[in-house]
Amino acid sequence: MLWSRDFVPTLKETPQEAECVSHKLMLRAGLVRMLMSGAYSYLPMGLRVLDNIQRIIRQEMNACGASELLLPALQPLELWQKTGRDQDIGEVMFRFNDRRGRKLCLGPTHEEVITDLVKNHISSYKQLPLVLYQIQTKFRDEVRPRFGLVRACEFIMKDAYSFDVDEAGLDKNYQAMYEAYQRIFKRCGLNILITEADSGIMGGKVSHEFMVPAENGEDIVLRCPKCKKAHTAKDPNERICASCQATLEKINCIEVGHIFKLGTKYTASLNGNFLDAKGKLSPIMMGCYGIGVSRLISAIIEQNNDKDGIVWPREVAPYQVIILPLDVGDGRIMSEAFVAYQELQEKGIDVLLDDRDERAGFKFKDADLLGIPVQIIVGREFLEQGSLDLKLRREAKRVKCPSSQIYNETMRLLNG
């Protein structure tokens, strides 16, 4: 992509609306813009990151045998009345009537809809286990949206649901998801803490949260420095480890994933039953597995930035390489930049070419702010010595490279 043809409105100064690091950088790097409190537009750079995160999630979900579908955001309220969560969720759910006066809502989550769907098509143990997932927009009328994408009223979530004949099956799927989540967050460039957590209104007994330590995290994780066991705090003043008696560390975190063993809460109330091998009718065992997809963008930036801007982990970066021709008026520089651009693109690398008529310093600042892993600089040194400068954003160190070696050197840096 040529920068001059793209829509990447970078800002030199931080807009007043932002307070936390990730929010400031998302606005400055032109990833998102706010429409109103809790609702954001994803600009081209932001959408590319979002797509990359989704690609990682899809790969890992598919790899553990889950099948993707897409459920409606628009739902009948009566479905929620059947499970009783209409009351539990309360004001958080957007509710309204359609033109016939029917009571509708926008889905804050999808256990009801998926259970309603599955129960009509699963009647035998022979059809189980089954694991389904979707990546979809959720709506929650938050008391207090904040920190940009961290807590928004409209956001993107991956939610997966497992259906099993018994607890042993559920345990197996739960474990597979637990491991898939570890791989997903690692690929997103995150260091996470996994905690034992409260299931809240989701129901069920066992649940784990995947937490990203971050300064502005809304959740507090308590971790024992001795046994390393962590749990999400219900009471942040609880300060002693139950097994070691050591004083617990308090760590602010952003919750990016939460997995639950639901059991039969939804299948029992919505009649999601199956016949087992002996002809006995039982409710299907369920698990559900969420990832805050849009929130991950914030969490990744919180853990991957420096004074100059974002430092994207390779797999989620909007582009792998940015080429910076430092004088667009010089034919030799521009043609060399385009040669490198085409070669890298032909070899499957996502490249952004900053063809704007700007000065060197301006382009360097924007490139650092954007955080694309590899910068290729075509400037004076190319004219004098025929070499390009390659810089790895994370290390801020430059290496010289003859133009014939540009692909190999780029790959070496990306993989290094």
Residues lying near RNA in the complex (CB under 7 A) are found at 10-20, 23, 28, 34, 36-38, 92, 108-109, 138, 140, 142-147, 151, 155, 157, 199-202, 216, 218-219, 258, 290, 292, 308, 326-327, 329, 358-362, 364-366, 368-369, 377-382, 389, 391, 396, 398
Cβ 130 to RNA shortest distance, Å: 21
Nearer to RNA, 125 or 151 (CB): 151
Cβ 58 to RNA shortest distance, Å: 20
Nearer to RNA, 118 or 326 (CB): 326
Nearer to RNA, 13 or 346 (CB): 13
Query: What does the alpha-carbon distance between residue 106 and residue 68 come to, in Å, rounded to a whole number?
Result: 21
Query: What does the alpha-carbon distance between residue 163 and residue 175 come to, in Å, rounded to a whole number?
Result: 14
Nearer to RNA, 258 or 265 (CB): 258
What end-to-end distance do the CA atoms of the chain give, in Å? 25
Nearer to RNA, 15 or 225 (CB): 15
Nearer to RNA, 4 or 124 (CB): 4
Cβ 385 to RNA shortest distance, Å: 9
Query: What does the alpha-carbon distance between residue 255 and residue 374 come to, in Å, rounded to a whole number?
Result: 30
Cβ 8 to RNA shortest distance, Å: 11
Q: 354 with 326: CB under 8 angstroms? A: no
DSSP state at residue 344: H
Place of tokens 């790969």: 59
Cβ 99 to RNA shortest distance, Å: 25
Cβ 245 to RNA shortest distance, Å: 26
Closest CA to 379 of 397, 396, 391: 391
Q: 88 with 201: CB under 8 angstroms? A: yes
DSSP of 65-133, one letter per residue? T-EE----SEEEHHHHHHHTHHHHHGGGSEEEE-TT--EEEE-S--HHHHHHHHHTT--BGGG--EEEE
